[in-house]
Amino acid sequence: MRTMLFALVSVVATTATAQETPQQNAVDGSVLIRNVRVFDGERVIPKTSVLVTNGKIARVSPTISAPASTPVVDGTGKTLLPGLIDSHTHTWGTALRDDAALGVTTVLDMFTDRAPPRAFGSWTAPPRAGRTPTSARPASS
């Protein structure tokens, strides 16, 4: 569960309102998220707290005391979930930023061609030097 939750801790932390703490702007990867609903990919915990220390989930418990200088985020009405994977993307412009805003933390780009799109009927794959497609190779005896 810890690995799966880590992916979106930073997204929730940046979208929720942090309470005032000393060194609130210190970026060390630590944050306490209180009163958040957690979905770990298998089950839902309706209301709990998640402590992240140095970028890793250290503890998940209904009550956690915030260590000194650790920012505290009120997760009331928010859901913490594993980062989503989009395995078919065409990544250009603001696509990566937009993905992160929607909880997608891993994308597989389908080799986006930044050139103007061509009509399907006029497109042919460029030849690959020194290679013959598997289906066109002669069968060996």
Listed by start position, the domains of the chain span 2-80, 83-114
- How many residues are given for the chain? 141
Task: Please check whether residue 2 is in contact with residue 56, taking contact to mean a CB–CB distance below 8 angstroms.
Answer: yes
Please give the pLDDT value at position 34: 97
Write down the CATH number for the domain with range 2-80.
Answer: 2.30.40.10
Q: Which helix (H) or strand (E) holds 30?
A: none
pLDDT (0 to 100) of residue 110: 85
CA-derived radius of gyration, the chain: 22
| pTM reported for the whole predicted model | 0.54
Nearest by Cα to 91 from 72, 119, 110: 110
Q: How far apart are CA 56 and CA 61, in angstroms?
A: 15
Indicate the residue type of 103: G
Q: Tens digits of per-residue pLDDT, 110-122?
A: 877 655 555 444 5
